């Protein structure tokens, strides 16, 4: 999206405050510029907004329904409310919906927002449908735990149009039965997956995890507070991808790339993402 941004400024009101943003910027960008924090799940800075989680909705004067701030371009003169009764209600409900039926125990940000908006998942009918999916451990690089999946589409976007163009996964099925899946749910080694791990990098709920992290968590030894993150350059081909090495006890435990890096935009290939065992 940033490619569309030009120098022309657009002024909108966010919670009574005038904000000028470049043309092509979204309402979310304007909220950021106004210092208004907005909860998001499906939005990722390197991904085309799919606006499916509806957590970032805001009230826009003149619009009957609430609008997703992540994808709605800011237009001159818009008046936006981010903390109205309606906005708080919808955000609370989205958070309740996400926390019923999905294991969000490792989605820290989601949990904080749920508390902020007073979401109460306990008020639903007991025994309601859940994701109910086994953990898929099919190789030694990363695992898929769809009990934690909120169907935000970020992995699908990263695997497909927005970065990798591999399209190994898609949303399959419909409604509450929709799942992220390869064709006929074949295992990843049988699928088109090339193990770039760009899906893992964008997953907001830890449904996709490095196997190293999964193993440490199983052993109850995953300690983010004891981890350091160091930015360096990949040792393989000559493209110059920046890596962020996450280190615990002098061992690399996972590897990411900065979203704002010109070369990678947060993406890596299998070697950069997983090929550091030899260190």
Partner 1 sequence: MIFLWGSNAREAHPIFFHHVLKGIDNGARMYCVDPRYTSSAQFSDVWVGIDVGTDIALANGIGREIIHAGLANQDFIAHSTQGFEAYAASVEPFTPEAVAAICGIPAEVVVEMAHAYATADKAQILWTLGITEHHNAVDNVLSLCNLALLTGHVGRWGSGLVPLRGQNNVQGGGDMGAIPNKFPGFASVDDPDHRARFEAAYGRELNPVPGLHLTLMFEAMEQGDLRALYVIGENPADSEADALHARAQLESLDILVVQDILMTRTAEMADVVLPASVAWAESEGTVTSSERRVQRVRPAVSPPGQARHDIDILCDMAEAMGDELGPRDPKAAWDELRSLSAMHGGMAWERLEAAGGLQWPCPDEDHPGSAFLHGWLWADDLEGRDPAPFSVLEHEGPTEELSEKFPLRLTTGRALDSYNTGVQSGQYDSPIRFAGLDMNTHDAAGLGIADGDRVRVCSPRGSVEMNARVVSSLPRGLAFTTLHHPELIDVNVLTNPEWDPKSGTAEFKAAAVRVELVVAPETAGASVG
Partner 2 sequence: MPPRLRGHPLADLHFGDDQPTEAEQAAIDAIVPQANAASIVETERIVRGGRSRRHGLRHLLLPVLHSLQHEIGWISPGGLNGAAERLGVPPAEAYGVATFYELLRTADPGHRDDVVHVCVDPACALAGNNELRTTLDADGARVHDSPCLGQCERAPALFVQGVGRPDRVPADDNEEFQLPQAGDPGLRVLRRVGVVDPTSLESYREHGGYEALATAIEMGPDAVIAVISDSGLSGRGGAAFPTGIKWRAVADEPGADKHVVANCDESEPGTFKDRILCEQDPFAVIESMTIAGLATGASHGWIYIRGEYPRATARLESAIAQARASGLLGDDVAGSGQRFDIELRRGAGAYICGEETALFNSIEGFRGEPRNKPPFPTTHGLFSQPTAVNNPETLINALDIVIDGPDTYRSLGTERSPGTRLFCLSGRIGVPGLYEVPFGTPLGDLLDLAGGPVGSLAAVLLGGAAGVFVGPDSLDMPLTLEDTREASATLGSGVVTVFDDTVDMEAVVVRIAEFFRDESCGQCVPCRVGTQRQHEVLVELQGSDKPLTKQRSELIDDMALAMVDASICGLGHTAASAVRSALSLGLIGNSQ
Interface residues with partner 1 (CB under 8 A)? 138-141, 161, 163-165, 188-189, 193-196, 228, 230-242, 245, 247, 250-252, 258, 260-265, 267-272, 274-279
Q: Which is nearer to partner 2, 171 or 245 (CB)?
A: 171
Which one of partner 1, partner 2, none is in contact with 173 (Cβ closer than 5 to 8 A by kind)?
partner 2
**Which one of residues 19, 60, 169, 207 is an interface residue with partner 2 (CB under 8 A)?**
169
Instruction: Please say which residue, 122 or 250, places its beta carbon nearer to partner 1.
Output: 250
Residues 11 to 50: which contact partner 2 by CB under 8 A?
A: none
Alpha helices in the chain (DSSP H): 27-33, 85-99, 108-116, 154-159, 198-202, 211-218, 270-274
Distance (Å, whole) CA 60 – CA 228: 42
Q: Smallest gap, in angstroms, from Cβ of residue 158 to partner 1?
A: 11
Give 47's DSSP letter: S
Instruction: Give just the sign of the alpha carbon dihedral 264, 31, 111, 156.
Output: negative
Does residue 97 bind partner 2 (CB under 8 A)? yes
Q: Give CA 77 to chain center in angstroms.
A: 30
> If binding is defined by CB under 8 A, does position 249 make contact with partner 2?
no
Cα 207 from Cα 188, distance rounded (Å): 15
CA angle 58, 60, 65 (to 5 degrees): 80
Between helix 85-99 and helix 108-116 the angle, nearest 10°, is 140
> Which CB atom, from 209 or from 242, has the smaller least distance to partner 1?
242
Closest CB to partner 1 among residues 117, 210: 210
The distance of Cα 88 from the centroid of its chain, to the nearest Å, equals: 21
Under rule CB under 8 A, residue 177 binds partner 2: yes
Token pair in block for residue 177? 């039965």
User: How is residue 239 written in tokens?
Assistant: 């493209």
Of residues 193 and 207, the one with the C-beta less far from partner 1: 193
50 to 69, contacts with partner 2 by CB under 8 A?
51-55, 57, 65-66, 68
**How does strand 57-60 pair with strand 79-81?**
antiparallel
Report the residue number, 34 or 269, with the smaller CB distance to partner 2.
269
Rounded to 10 degrees, the C-alpha dihedral 223/208/136/145 comes to: 80
Q: Which does 45 bind (CB under 5 to 8 A by kind): partner 2, partner 1, none?
A: none
- List residues near partner 2 by CB under 8 A: 51-55, 57, 65-66, 68, 71-72, 86, 89-90, 93-94, 97-98, 100-101, 123-125, 128-129, 150-151, 160, 165-178, 181-184, 186, 190-192, 194
């Amino acid at each position: 999206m940033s490619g569309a941004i030009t120098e022309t400024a657009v002024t909108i009101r966010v919670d009574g405050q005038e904000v000028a943003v470049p043309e092509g910027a979204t309402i979310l960008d304007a909220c950021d510029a106004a210092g208004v924090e907005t909860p998001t799940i499906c939005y990722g800075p390197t991904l085309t907004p799919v606006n499916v989680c509806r957590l970032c909705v805001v009230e826009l004067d003149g619009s009957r329904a609430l609008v997703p701030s992540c994808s709605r371009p800011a237009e001159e003169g818009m008046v936006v409310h981010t903390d109205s009764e309606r906005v708080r209600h919808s955000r609370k409900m989205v958070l309740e919906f996400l926390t019923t039926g999905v294991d969000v125990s490792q989605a820290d940000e989601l949990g904080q927002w749920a508390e902020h908006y007073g979401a109460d998942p306990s008020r639903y009918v007991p025994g309601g449908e859940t994701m109910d999916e086994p953990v898929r451990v099919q190789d030694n690089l990363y695992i898929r735990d769809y009990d934690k999946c909120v169907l935000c589409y970020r992995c699908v976007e990263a695997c497909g149009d927005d970065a990798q163009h591999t399209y190994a996964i898609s949303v399959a099925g419909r409604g509450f039965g929709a799942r992220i899946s390869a064709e006929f749910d074949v295992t990843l080694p049988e699928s088109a997956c090339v193990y770039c791990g760009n899906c893992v990098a964008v997953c907001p709920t830890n449904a996709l995890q490095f196997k190293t992290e999964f193993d440490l968590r199983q052993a109850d030894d995953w300690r983010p507070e004891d981890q350091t993150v160091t930015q360096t350059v990949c040792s393989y081909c000559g493209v110059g991808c920046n890596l962020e090495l996450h280190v615990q006890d002098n061992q690399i435990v996972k590897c990411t790339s900065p979203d704002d890096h010109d070369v990678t935009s947060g993406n890596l290939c299998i070697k950069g993402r997983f090929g550091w065992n030899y260190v």
